[in-house]
Every structure is written in structure tokens, then in C-alpha cells.
Structure 1
Amino acid sequence: MFQRFSLKTIDGQVGTIETTPLKTARSQENSELMSSDSIKKTLIIFGVGLLLGRAVILLHLLPFVIPFLAVIFHTKRNYTLLAAFALTVGATTVSFSFAGHAVVAIVFYFLIQGFTNSITNEKRLVPVTVFLATGSARYLGSVISDGNSWYNFFTATVEAGLAMIVTMIFFQSIPLFFEKKRKLTLKHEEIVCLVILLASLMTGTVGWLVFQLSVEQIVARYIVLIFAFVGGAAIGSTVGVVTGLILSLANVANLFYMSLLAFSGLLGGLLKEGKKILVAIGLIISTLLMGMYGDNQVPMEMSLYETLVAVALFMLTPKKWTEQLSKYIPGTIEHSQEQQQYIRKVRDVTAGKVEQFSDLFLSLSKSFTLLETNGEKTTREREVDLFLSKVTEKTCQTCMKKHQCWTKKFQETYSLMEQIMRECEKEGEVINRNLQTEWRQHCIIDERVVDAMKSELNQHHASKRLKQQLIESRRLVADQLKGVSKVMEDFAKDIQREKQEHEKQETEITEAIQQAGLDVEMVDVYNLDAGNIDIEITLMNNSYNEGEKIVAPLLSNILNETIIVKHSEPATLTGTEQRVTFGSTKKFEIMEGIAHAAKGGKLVSGDSHSTMELGAGKYAIAISDGMGNGARAHVESQETIGLLKNILRSGIEETVAIKSINSILSLRSQEEVFSTLDLAMIDLQDGFVKFLKVGSIPSYIKRGNQVKAVEAGNLPIGILHDMDVDVVSEQLKSGDLLIMMSDGIYEAPPMVENNDIWMKRIIKELETDDPQEVADLLMERVIRETGNEINDDMTVIVARLDHHLPKWASISLPQKKDA
């Protein structure tokens, strides 16, 4: 069903607009929501204005009228007349003289505000406008009624000054009633301003009695109970002092109650852990204690009745209301949970976005792989068809016998031309005499067809090479996109690091640390997976590195894994508490030694090397040898090492990294500039090492008196556009020596027939296991074998794998003896 509406256009024609019931229902729902919101705001503004219009302090001052009107004028201008009417009605309920003063003050404010707006619209001048309007109205009224005097002038100045201060307070508190933000955190100053506003509203209830009980006292005690229960002793006592102070300005008899409210807020806040009942008992005790002292205008039993009514209202307050208020008060558990939930939501959204990008890159990788697969599915028959069609287009199209050859003898003609194409592709000429004779008898332009086929073959080979390069480029892009996808997937997992439920372990750790004599505030266990321990502990003091010297060894004994301090930072800005992060350490560590020399003793070497510790407990050792010697070879090898370091640090797999470097270097320049790469990736958790050798010479592992060679047969980087990287894996043990070298070391001795056997023997004869000494001795031995000449760039890197021993070993606490 559709509803039609007729509209008259500018030129006088009538048109119709069709609206669906769904759109109509949505518009009606929106209008109902707007109407409900407008009614709610109207009631709030009228109620607040009514009470503030009645709020009289120091017997005859009205410092709340104009501030409220000014705030509504600058925040909810559409409700300005409603606010003025509510203020006037409230003042009228006190007396007609107060009503007249309120009306005069409102008129003065509008006049001064209009004059101010004609000059500037800056909001910071509002307190000044309020000061002038309030002071002028009070002074004019005093002059008319009592005449001119310094007392009237000072009274007007005091009221105007209070109004100016209240204006700044109301600008922070009144908009909170209309705040629609889901995430709202109140600062301590905003809480005080809100309490001042509530106390100002309570001032409007002065004189109201219900069964001889004071309404303002009941409401004041109820508010103190709520804030003490929600915010604790600090917030409760603050609310009590502010509320009592404001009420005492309205009625001097209430000055005594400031002590009562402050003490009630303090005591109730201290007892908040005992839930509502203890907070209520705190107010009752405060009422009884304060009722025993001083000269009270109100009998003790009446004050007790007022307290009991406030307690009854407090006990009937729904838990949902107090929990909602707690979310806005800093320092409460509900506020912390709300903030953590918000942070967790932001984290999950961020991780979700990263995962989406990861899926996107993976999809792009698959699409490139699919394109490559489709390209490989191109059949040989189709290539032959395309090739022969180009040849016949240049030859047979102009031949008078084309219909006879391609209509009556199609199969014979196609077969002969395919054989000639394969012969020319293989030999460059038609060498088969039988094929020549058969083709000559079949075709009257046989030589012309053969020549055209030879010419077309050159273009066909060039096109095929370009196509192959395109396929290789696609494969490179696919591998790189897949690597980026894996990196972003791992990053998303890191973002979603969250505390897990390990209450038993947290209790055990807390008891062990306390038994060792240290004060611990909090223990948070995030992960207990072997090799990936993640624990945060807040210590009361860490001035003597107790976390490293005592806590980490204790954790090592409890978790049966070596634990060290990963990070430490102050838990607070003023206290001595330290938040210390503990985590797993690597089982092995690397000691390395490096020796290198340039050809002829020059400064610039064509060899480049690097050792780097990567994330996730990986250690990389790389040597690159540029083609030739000198600056150009140095640039090429340095470029290879630089690219390798950056790609590996990003988290991309090492095989993808090497293929990417190969493609970059091979496509970057047409010159024949190549470089070798010898890469060893050592896992410091299990001692497993992967060798990726691209055009490099063997590496050696020495374990005691045994020497083992590790080699692979890959061409240097840059020679082939597409390359398969052979990965050789070995298991290292503590004390093993890993020796990697460039060809300048391996191939240096001129009289050696078998370099591999010679190198093994030299390494085996070494009596030291110090990495630097081994590197220096190998370099020295090779130079002596070449007649003290350096005929090529030389680099040798020696790494020794050792068990990691922390500075502070594990400690175990004595077991408790059973009684």
C-alpha cells in the first residue's frame, strides 16, 4: 500500500509523492521520540526553575535566578521563556516582593545581554552580564525601599558576586541533566558543581514540612547516603560539607547540620563495603552522636525521624540507579569496569579492522594465485592455434589455393604446419628432409610460409618471456600479500591480549611473594603458555630491584620455566608502587664473533653481514657477497642485507623475504649484478636452525670433535626471476659452534683440491670454543695459506649457542611442615 500526496510545483503543475507505510511509521516514531524528549526537558527546566526561584539565602538574597536563566539562554535557548516563567512562579511562592525583584532582574539581564550581543557573542562575558544584571536589580530595589546607603551597595555587590560564581558552576552542572553521551565520566570538580546545584535546589524546599519533618533535611541526608555509598568516604564527606554549607546559607539554624552531614558522609563511605545496611547505620550513628552535643533547635527525636525517612528512601532506591551513577564516579569499581569495557570494545574493533585487512590481503593473494593458475591452464593447442593463425594471415590469405588447403585438406595442412613449427622451434630450421619434401608437394608457397614461421617464432618467444615474467611478478605479489596478511593476523592477536582467569595461580603467586617477605598489591596473569608467560605484578616497593632479584626467581621455580623482568613502571604518580611485567626468557643465548677483510687490505668490502635478534625468540645471521669487489659489490650486498633486515623485522616469513629480495634486485636493473645470501634463522627456544642459502658456500657446525657441513644448491640472487629457496634444517645443542663464511674464506687456498675437506680439518683442529677467537684464527690461517695476501673479500661469522642463565637463579621456598 502506498499513500499519495499532491504537491503543486513552481510552474503550477500538480504532482504526487508516494510514501510507503514503513517510511510513515518511521517518521511518526521519530516525531513521538522528539515529542517525549521535549516534554521531559520542559518538566526538568520548569521544576529546576521553580525550586531555584524559591532558593533564598541570607534571608533576602536570590543569587540563583539569573545564573539559571543565563545558562538556559546559552545552552537551551528555546526554553528561555519557560525558565523565566518558572523562576517567577517560584519567587512568587515565597512573596510578591521576591517575585517583583526576580522580574526586574530578568528584565535587566535581557537588556544587558542584548547590548552585549550587539558588541560580541563571546560566552566568557556571560558571568559579567549576570553580575551586572543581579547587582543592578538588587541595588535598585534596595534604593527604592530603604534609600541609598553603603550597606545596600555592599549587599548588591555580594549577591552579584555570588551570582557570577554560581553561573560558572551551573555551566558545568546543568548541562549534565541534558547530556546524551553514552560515555560520561564526571571529574571531581564536576561532581562538586553537581552537588552545589542539588543543594541549591534543596534550598528551594526550605520551610516545607511533612508531618513536622523537614523536607530539605531528609533530601540532604538521602543524597549524602547515595554519594557515600557510591563514591566512598572522600566523595561522601565532600557532598556532606557542600550540602550543609549551602543549606546553612539559606537558614542559619542548619549550620549545625553541616557537621552532621559531613560526618555521616565520611562514616557511611568508610562502611560502604558492608553494602547499604552499614552505610545507613553510619548515618544513624552520626545522628545520635551529633544529637548529644550542642544546642539544637530541633529535638533529637525529630532529627532521628528525618534520618530514618532518609534511610528508608535509601533502602528503597533501586540497585540499578546506584550502579548507573557509579559508572560516572571515578574510582568506583563500576566506573573501572565501564572504562575497561569501553577499552575492550575499542580494542576489539581495532583488532577486527586489522583482521579484515588481513582477510583482504589474503583474498588479493588468492586472486593473484588464481590468475597465475588460469594462465598456466592455457593449453599447448591454443598456443599453436594462435601461432598458426598469425602465420596463415601473412601467407595463406593471399594464396589462390587457400580454400583447397584449409577447406578440403584442413587436417593435413594443420598437421604439416604444426610439425614445421616444432622443427623450427627446436632446430631453428626445417632439417627433416621428408618433412621438407612433403610440405613442398603440399604447398605452392612453401618457403614463404617457413620464413614467416621463423619470423613469427621470434616474436612468439619474446611474448612468452614477457608472459612468464608477468606470471612471476604475480607470484611475487601473491607471496608478499600472503606474508602481509600473516603479519596483520598476528598483530590482531597481539591487540587482543587479555587477562585470563587464573585465580588459583594468582593466589599461589601472591602467597609465595608474601612468604618471601614482600608486599604485593595485585597479581594479574595474562598467559601461562610455555615459552609465552605473561604476568603483571604490582609491588608496594621495588627500590632495590626486588622484582628481578626475588620475584622473578620465585616465578621461575613455581612455573618451572625461566622468568625475567620484561618491563617496570610506576603504578602511581606519587606512591612507591611499581607495576612489573614478567615473561618467559629464551632458553638459549648467542655469543658471536666476526672477522672480515676487504680485498688487498682496502677499506670497502664487497661482503656485507648482519646479526639481529627478531621477535618471537628468533635470531638471524646473514652474509651477502656482491659480485666482484669494491664499491659496487658493497652497494649490492649492503642493499640485500638492508632489505632482508627490514622484511624479517616486519614478521614476514624468511622464504618469502628472500624471494621478494630476489625479484626486487632482478627487476631493478638490467645490468648483470648479482649477490649471494647466506641466512641462518636460529630459534632461541628450542635451538632449531634453518639455513637458507642462495648461491652461498657451505656452513659448518662444530660439536665437540665433530664437524658437519650444511649446503644447498641455489643460484645467486638476481640471476633468475623465479627461484625456489631450499631450506635446510638442523638441531643445535648447547655449546655448538655455527661457522658461516663468504667464498673469500672458503676458496682462498690455491693449492687445495677439496675445499670442504680442508675446511673441516681446519675447524676440527681448533682448540678454543670462543667465537671471536675462532673467527680470528680462521681468518689468520686462510691469509697465511694464501701467502699473506688477501685475494678476495673475506667474512667469517662464528656463533656459539649456550643455555641462557639469568642473573638471578630460581629460588624455592621451604615447604610447610604439617602439624
Structure 2
Amino acid sequence: MGKVEQSFVEPMRKMDLNQAKMNVPKRFKQFQLKMELLFLQKGLALLIIGFLLGRAFILTNLTPFALPFFAAVYLARRDKTPHVFLGLLAGAMTISLANVIYIFASGVVFLFIFRTFIERHKNEVKVLPYYVLSITFLGKLTFVYLQQGKALSTYHVALIGMEAGLACILTFIFLQSIPLIAFHKRKKVLKTEEVISIIILLASVMTGTIGWSVYNLSIEHILSRYLVILFAFAGGAAVGSTVGVVTGIIFSLANVGNLYQISLLAFSGLLGGLLKEGKRTGVAFGLLLATLLIGLYGEGNTPLLQTMYESGSAILLLLLTPFSLINKLAKYIPGTPEYAQDQQQYLKKVRDITVNRVEQFSSVFKALSNSFSQTEQKFVPEENREFDYFLSNVTEKTCQTCFKKEQCWVNQFHTTYDLMKEIMHDLDENDHVLSQKYGRKLEQHCNRANKVKLAMLHELSFFQANQKLKKQVKESRKLVAEQLLGVSEVMGDFAKEIQRERENHHKQEEEIFEMLQDFGIDIEQVEIFSLEKGGVDIEMTIPFCEGLGESEKLIAPLLSDILGETIIVQKEVCAEYSNGYCYVTFSSAKAFAVETGVAHAAKGGGIISGDSYATIELGAGKFAIAISDGMGNGERAHHESNETLLLLKKILKSGIEEQVAIKSVNSILSLRTTDEIFSTLDLAVIDLQHAKMKCMKICSTPSFIKRGTKVIKVEAGNLPMGILQDFDIEVVSKQLKAGDVLIMMSDGIFEGPNHVENHEIWMKRKIRQMETNEPQEIADLIMEEVIRGRSGYIDDDMTIIVARIDHNTPKWSTIPISKRKALIS
């Protein structure tokens, strides 16, 4: 039983221990939140700062800190002004009664004057320092005059002017730093000026500790060194040395004997920041080393052993400082890894919120699309109901007053109902003409046959108009559903693109930089955005290249060899002067390239052709070729075919799938007009990465692929654009190879010479006999052959587009690099 109990007790003890470990950070966080509430929101921090600034002085007897701090707090945290005023008076009490009187009087005068004239100023912040300057100068002048009881010397006036000037500058500084320490919610981003302002405020506060000591160790020395190594550990060498210089200058102004502290603090901040990789031990070693060196060779009056004890006390304070507080401080200092990580997390949060919103919009559009597409089922059971309404209108005018009503609609209901339905369908199919068969049936069954027939003809026109309107509404709903679905898919893809984080490529950037430098190419900066296969995106800053094409001829071939794929210059902005920089963007070249040639002619040699064509480069590495033939010839046909291609081009470039795009264009064309104006469409979309082609032919002529001596026919059957609102698109997929020639044409070319009976065989033979593979030459030769076969007369609009698919070979070949490193993981 003992072992069994132990087996149960031991896990329970471990669970309690883990629970206790989890509660420690939670309790510490609660304690931290309580301290923040007490010091920041309750104003205890401002009270302590006010006490220390009330007894702070510089140059023996100048006290420029009290009134600027009081004025800044009055403007930033007016509710905490009484606490600060009491703290300033309490601090001044530790020095002399005269200081208490001066601070009290200057505070009261400031409140009276500032509150009297505040309404005259639009911006209180801008005028506040000048109020402090004036009140300090006049108040100190009056106070010193009353103290001495005689006229003041030039020295005293200059000293008072210096104190007033410092008070004005300190007001500017305190206005920036107080909101950062007095509010619970602070800004995420601090400017360098704001960081310096906080340092000046903290150093000024520490001057209030001058004269304090514990076991003969100076409190101001311990706190100043602690402040320096704290910022050096959080922000690095630059921040540490800056804090050391600023703190040392303020301490030296307060006490000339502390002049050597500038060297000690600045050197400590520099060494501590350089050794911050060694954590707190490295920073502590930096402070001890700086203290030892300055103590041995400096001019300070403090014994070396005492100075080392003071530095040791500062190190002890650093060791007792929670790491979370140091990490939190580092987040506010620009240039630190913690700051960059915090900004990255903020950007990630913004990106996730954006992605969530885009996905929500995508789901909304998808739901709307489903809602519109489900309406089709609701129209099917309404057919009988519509006929019943139609029949009730007919019988109301004919059968209601007939003496045989009961015999027809009670005794022979089904027979009468079926006959009426058959007659209605017969009239509908025969263009309102009743066939003899149903005419005899109606006369045999009804004694008012002519009256029923006329009533049905009258009601049928309304019935047909109603049905046509409902059909248009139905097709409009379907168009909206398809468009909404397409938009939903595009927004979904966009959300995925946003969600992809930019990877950190510092190592790869250094490797590329070193390789290019070793090769003798001077590079200023390399920035990698993507190293994905087929989607490389690199930006470089290079010195003035004098327009010699260095990027295209040297750097792109080198990058091609380094990355193992063809890299080309996507964009280049060259400097206009010799000392400037060129900015170049490099990207992956597509595996295949398309070269096109076009031949075009209007009927009878006219200017305006009913055919339109377009070659479209889509953003997703695709190339589209389209030919549209409007019905007939002339301006109206040209407008129709051109409008078809314009709509198709815009929809395709938005990222919507090709089939949805074609259906959308067809629905728009069919719904916007009642005229019988239709157009054909021949569309080929080529994937430039894999050379896969998708063809969609809407009542267009066949296309041909020339592969050596072999000619492959590509065809599909669909009705013209706009003739039906609903049709299925047949997609033909073909795998192309390098060297293949795609020939697309309108019916004016395909029908060939007049004497040809089999147009397909004639066209294949002509294409096979071509000795050239140049797209433009093939287009011109076929056009010339067709026109000659028609005795030089152009019977119809003619358009032919020839495209050759080739491997994408860069102009400049790659340059092999020895010791090549793999950059793509």
C-alpha cells in the first residue's frame, strides 16, 4: 500500500510544484501592474521626482528645475499638480527656507499669469517655455534684490539670465519626457529626442541626491553609474555612451568636483554597451574596467577603493533589476533588437487584422454568390403556377359566362386543363398561330372556340413578356453570383499573399555582397525580399554606373549563377550625376518567352475592321492572346469586338479565372442590349513557367500549332458571345514545347481562297510548307496567300496572330563563381 500511495502522491506533488511555478510569474505580473498603477496613475512617481528636483541645483546656487517641472506637469497632468507642488516644496525645505519661499512664490505667480492669459493663445505648448523664461528671470531678479537689499551687479544679472535660459530649455525637455513617464499607456515608438529628454530628466532628478551617502558611498555616483549601465545593457554602446556624457555633464554642472565623472560615465557606457553580448556580467565587467582605468589615471578626489565600491553597488542594482523591465526599456530605444522585434510584432498584428478583414469580405462575397446561385431551383416549381394564372385570366373572359362551364371544368377537368395547356404551347411554338390539329380539338371540345383562341393570344403576349423578364432577372442573378464568386477567390488569394511574412535574409545578403565584392563589383547595399524559386526579388544600390549596363551585363549573370536560376533586371533607375547611386531591381526570368507577329486587314481594304485582337501580359506569369470577330463588318462590328476584348482584358488582369471571365463578358454582352449583335472570341492563355496552354473558343475558327513538320489542330465548339445567357465553355489544354508556333486566325483567314473546298487541309498544308519560324513572316505570308487566292480582293475582315514559344535565354550568359554557396534553403 505504501508504494501505491507513493505512486499517487508523487505526481500530485509535481503538479503542485508546477502550479506554484506558473503562479510565480502571474503574481509578479500582478505586483508589477499594482506598482505601475501606484507610481504612474496615482502620481507617486511625479511626487518623488518633484521632491528631488525641489532640492536639485547646479553651479552652487542655481535652481532652474522646479518651475519648468511644475509648469510641464500643469500642462500635461493638471490633476497631479498639487502632488508635484507639495513634492517641490518638501524638497526645497531640505535645502533652505528661502528656496521654499521662492518656489512657492514662483508657482503661484505662474498659475495666476498663465491662467489669466491662456485664452489668448491657440497653442499652449509653444508659449509655455517663454512664460517660464519671463517669470523665472523677473522672479529671481526680484527675489535676489530683496535678499541683498541693494542693486544687483552685472554678474548676478548674468547668472539669473543663465538660470532663466536653462529653465526655458528644461521646459521644452520636460514637456517631451513627462507624458512618457506619467501615463500608464505610452507610445510604442520613441524618437531619439524623446529618449534624450528622458535621460536629461533622470539625470536632473539624480542631482537632487547630491550630498546623500550610505556607509561613505555617494548615492549620486551609484545611481548615475547604474543609469548608464542600465541603458548600455538595454540599448548598446551608442546609447550607453550618450547617457554617460549627458549624465556626467549635468552632474559636473551641479558640482565642479564631479567633472571627471563625464569621462568615467561615458567610458563605462561605451565599454558596457560593447560587452552587452556577455549579458549583465559583460556590462558589469565594462563598468569595473572603466572605473579602474579612470580611477588610476583620472583626477578625481575620491579614493580608488571607494569608487570601486560605488561601481559594485551600481552592479548590484543592475543584477536586482528584473529582466522584464530591461526588455521593456529596450523596446522603446530605436535600433535595438527588442525594438525591431516589437515593431515586427506590431506589423504582424496589423497584417493579421488586415488578413482577417479581407478573409471576412471574401466569405461575405462567397455567401452572397451562393445566395444568388441558389435561386434557380425556386423557378422550376413555379411553371405550373404561372400557367394557372394564365389560364384563370383566359377562363375569366370566356368560360365564366358559358352554359357548359360545369361540364368542362367539373366533369371533364383534366381533359380541359390538358387541352388548354397543349394549345398554349402550340401557340407559343408556332409564333401565335394555332395549328389545324389543335384547332379541330378546340372546336370539338368548346362551343366558344374563337373567343377562347383570341383570349389566349391576348394573354400569351403578357405571359411571354413576363417569362422573358423573369429569365433576364435569373440570368442577372447568375452573372452577379459568378462575379461575386470571382471576387471572393481574388480576395482569398490576396489574403494569402498578405499573410506570407517577409523572411529574414541577412545571411544571404551578406553572402551576395561578399561574392560581388570579391568579383570586383562595387555594391553599396543589397536587400533581399524573396528567394523563392521562380519568384526572386532583390534590390541593390550601386554607385554611378555611367550608363554602361553593369547591372544587366555583370550583376544579373552573377546572381543567376549564385541562385541557380536565370535572373534579369526588372527595373533600373540610374543616377544623373557621378556621385549618385543607381537603384536596380532583379527578379526571376520566366522559363519561356513568347514572340508574336500580327497581320490585319479590313474588308475591301477599309480602315475600320470588325475584328479586334489583343496580346495581354498577365501579372501571374501568364501571356494571353485573344481575337474577337464582331458580327458583320464596319464600325458597329468593330465596337462590339473591341468592347468584348476590353472587358475581357480588365477582368483577366484583376486575377479572376479565365472561364469565369469569359462567362462574365458573355452575360454582360447578352444583357446590355436587345439587338442581335454578337461576337466570337478566340482566347489562348500560356503559362510562361511551364509552357502549358489553355484555349477557349467561342464560335471561333480552329487554331494550329506548328511543331517542326507536324501541324496540330486546336478547336472547340461554342455559340457566339451574347447569343445565349447561359452556356458551358469547353477548355482545350495543350502542352507546348520550345520552338512551337501557335497560329490563331479569324474566319476571314481560315476560309482561304474561293476555290478551296476543304479549308482545314489547305491551311495545314500552307503552314507545314512554311520554311521560316519567324512569327511576323508567317503572319504576312499566310495573309498574302489568302488575298492572292481571292484575286487580290478582301471579302471579309482578316486577322491572324502568330506566336512562337522559346526558352527564355538571357542576353548575357552567367558568370561561374568558384566556391559557390547555396543560398536557397
Q: Shared fold by TM > 0.5?
A: yes
Q: Secondary structure at the match of 2:60?
A: coil
CA distance, structure 1, for counterparts of residue 277 and residue 418 of structure 2? 97
**2:318 equivalent in structure 1:** 314
Alpha carbons 1:112, 1:133 under 8 Å: kept: no
Alignment of 1:311-350 (within 5 A): 311-350=315-354
Question: How has the CA–CA distance of structure 1 residues 527 and 358 changed in structure 2, closer, same or farther, with 3 Å as cutoff?
Answer: farther
Q: 289-298 or 709-718, which moves further after superposition?
A: 709-718
Q: 297-306 or 706-715, which moves further after superposition?
A: 706-715
**1:396 equivalent in structure 2:** 399
Q: 504-513 or 587-596, which moves further after superposition?
A: 504-513
CA distance, structure 1, for counterparts of residue 633 and residue 402 of structure 2? 61
Alpha carbons 1:536, 1:579 under 8 Å: kept: no
CA distance, structure 2, for counterparts of residue 644 and residue 447 of structure 1? 53
CA distance, structure 2, for counterparts of residue 586 and residue 422 of structure 1? 59
CA distance, structure 1, for counterparts of residue 400 and residue 794 of structure 2? 68
**1:61 equivalent in structure 2:** 62
CA distance, structure 2, for counterparts of residue 750 and residue 310 of structure 1? 103
Question: Is 1:255 matched with 2:255?
Answer: no
Question: Is 1:414 matched with 2:417?
Answer: yes
CA distance, structure 1, for counterparts of residue 509 and residue 168 of structure 2? 54
TM-score using structure 2 length: 0.87
Q: Kindly tell me the number of residue pairs found equivalent between the two proteins.
A: 777
**1:277 equivalent in structure 2:** 281
Question: Is 1:697 matched with 2:701?
Answer: yes
Q: Which runs of 5 or more residues in structure 1 are unaligned?
A: 1-31
Q: 320-329 or 745-754, which moves further after superposition?
A: 745-754
Q: 201-210 or 747-756, which moves further after superposition?
A: 747-756
Q: 750-759 or 448-457, which moves further after superposition?
A: 448-457
Question: How has the CA–CA distance of structure 1 residues 164 and 500 changed in structure 2, closer, same or farther, with 3 Å as cutoff?
Answer: closer
**1:88 equivalent in structure 2:** 89
Q: For residue 131 of structure 1, what is the amino acid of its counterpart? A: L
Aligned with residue 172 of structure 2, among 164, 168, 177: 168
Q: Which runs of 5 or more residues in structure 2 are unaligned?
A: 1-32, 821-825
**1:706 equivalent in structure 2:** 710
Q: Secondary structure at the match of 2:593?
A: strand
Alpha carbons 1:499, 1:527 under 8 Å: kept: no
Aligned with residue 486 of structure 1, among 486, 489, 499: 489
Alpha carbons 1:142, 1:148 under 8 Å: kept: no
CA distance, structure 2, for counterparts of residue 156 and residue 771 of structure 1? 90
Aligned with residue 690 of structure 2, among 674, 686, 689: 686
Deviations 1:466-519 (A, max 9, x none): 222222221111111111111111111111121469999999989988987889
Q: Secondary structure at the match of 1:349?
A: helix
Question: Is 1:670 matched with 2:674?
Answer: yes
Question: How has the CA–CA distance of structure 1 residues 275 and 551 changed in structure 2, closer, same or farther, with 3 Å as cutoff?
Answer: farther
Alpha carbons 2:610, 2:637 under 8 Å: kept: yes
Question: Is 1:735 matched with 2:739?
Answer: yes
CA distance, structure 1, for counterparts of residue 638 and residue 291 of structure 2? 88
**1:800 equivalent in structure 2:** 804
Deviations 1:702-731 (A, max 9, x none): 111122222222232233333332222222
CA distance, structure 2, for counterparts of residue 188 and residue 46 of structure 1? 26
Alpha carbons 1:534, 1:581 under 8 Å: kept: no
Alignment of 1:583-662 (within 5 A): 583-662=587-666
Alignment of 1:26-425 (within 5 A): 40-117=41-118, 119-120=120-121, 122-123=123-124, 124-146=126-148, 147-149=150-152, 150-181=154-185, 183-375=187-379, 377-378=380-381, 380-425=383-428
Alpha carbons 2:612, 2:627 under 8 Å: kept: yes
Q: Secondary structure at the match of 1:477?
A: helix
**1:20 equivalent in structure 2:** none
Alpha carbons 2:557, 2:567 under 8 Å: kept: yes
CA distance, structure 2, for counterparts of residue 479 and residue 416 of structure 1? 40
Question: How has the CA–CA distance of structure 1 residues 36 and 319 changed in structure 2, closer, same or farther, with 3 Å as cutoff?
Answer: closer
Q: Secondary structure at the match of 2:642?
A: helix
Question: How has the CA–CA distance of structure 1 residues 310 and 576 changed in structure 2, closer, same or farther, with 3 Å as cutoff?
Answer: farther
**2:470 equivalent in structure 1:** 467
CA distance, structure 2, for counterparts of residue 163 and residue 508 of structure 1? 53
Alignment of 1:432-471 (within 5 A): 443-471=446-474
Question: How has the CA–CA distance of structure 1 residues 511 and 637 changed in structure 2, closer, same or farther, with 3 Å as cutoff?
Answer: same
CA distance, structure 1, for counterparts of residue 198 and residue 229 of structure 2? 16
**1:762 equivalent in structure 2:** 766
Question: Is 1:750 matched with 2:750?
Answer: no
Deviation at 1:752, TM superposition (A): 2.0
Deviations 1:235-268 (A, max 9, x none): 1111000001111111111111111001111111
Deviation at 1:620, TM superposition (A): 0.5
CA distance, structure 1, for counterparts of residue 727 and residue 198 of structure 2? 72
Q: For residue 142 of structure 1, what is the amino acid of its counterpart? A: V
CA distance, structure 2, for counterparts of residue 591 and residue 420 of structure 1? 61
CA distance, structure 1, for counterparts of residue 346 and residue 40 of structure 2? 31
Aligned with residue 497 of structure 1, among 492, 496, 500: 500
Question: How has the CA–CA distance of structure 1 residues 183 and 189 changed in structure 2, closer, same or farther, with 3 Å as cutoff?
Answer: closer
Question: How has the CA–CA distance of structure 1 residues 128 and 437 changed in structure 2, closer, same or farther, with 3 Å as cutoff?
Answer: closer
Deviations 1:55-105 (A, max 9, x none): 111111110111011111111112223222221111111111211221222
Question: How has the CA–CA distance of structure 1 residues 476 and 109 changed in structure 2, closer, same or farther, with 3 Å as cutoff?
Answer: same
User: Identity rate of aligned residues, in percent?
Assistant: 51
Q: For residue 107 of structure 2, what is the amino acid of its counterpart? A: I
CA distance, structure 2, for counterparts of residue 577 and residue 511 of structure 1? 19
Deviation at 1:425, TM superposition (A): 4.2
Q: 166-175 or 759-768, which moves further after superposition?
A: 759-768
Deviation at 1:305, TM superposition (A): 0.5
Deviations 1:633-679 (A, max 9, x none): 33222222211211111111122222222222233333333322221
Q: For residue 56 of structure 1, what is the amino acid of its counterpart? A: F
Q: Secondary structure at the match of 1:193?
A: helix
Q: Secondary structure at the match of 1:292?
A: helix
CA distance, structure 2, for counterparts of residue 315 and residue 745 of structure 1? 88
Alpha carbons 1:606, 1:793 under 8 Å: kept: yes
**1:785 equivalent in structure 2:** 789
Deviation at 1:744, TM superposition (A): 2.6
Question: How has the CA–CA distance of structure 1 residues 107 and 733 changed in structure 2, closer, same or farther, with 3 Å as cutoff?
Answer: same
Question: How has the CA–CA distance of structure 1 residues 711 and 268 changed in structure 2, closer, same or farther, with 3 Å as cutoff?
Answer: same
- Alpha-carbon RMSD: 3.3
TM-score using structure 1 length: 0.87
Deviation at 1:138, TM superposition (A): 1.0
Q: Secondary structure at the match of 1:465?
A: helix
Q: For residue 477 of structure 1, what is the amino acid of its counterpart? A: V
Q: Secondary structure at the match of 1:94?
A: coil
Deviations 1:288-311 (A, max 9, x none): 100112432211111111000001
Q: For residue 396 of structure 1, what is the amino acid of its counterpart? A: C
Question: How has the CA–CA distance of structure 1 residues 515 and 274 changed in structure 2, closer, same or farther, with 3 Å as cutoff?
Answer: farther
Q: Secondary structure at the match of 1:70?
A: helix
Alpha carbons 1:498, 1:526 under 8 Å: kept: no
Deviations 1:734-754 (A, max 9, x none): 111111122232235222222
CA distance, structure 2, for counterparts of residue 201 and residue 367 of structure 1? 68
Question: How has the CA–CA distance of structure 1 residues 804 and 121 changed in structure 2, closer, same or farther, with 3 Å as cutoff?
Answer: closer
Alpha carbons 1:748, 1:792 under 8 Å: kept: no
Question: How has the CA–CA distance of structure 1 residues 393 and 515 changed in structure 2, closer, same or farther, with 3 Å as cutoff?
Answer: farther
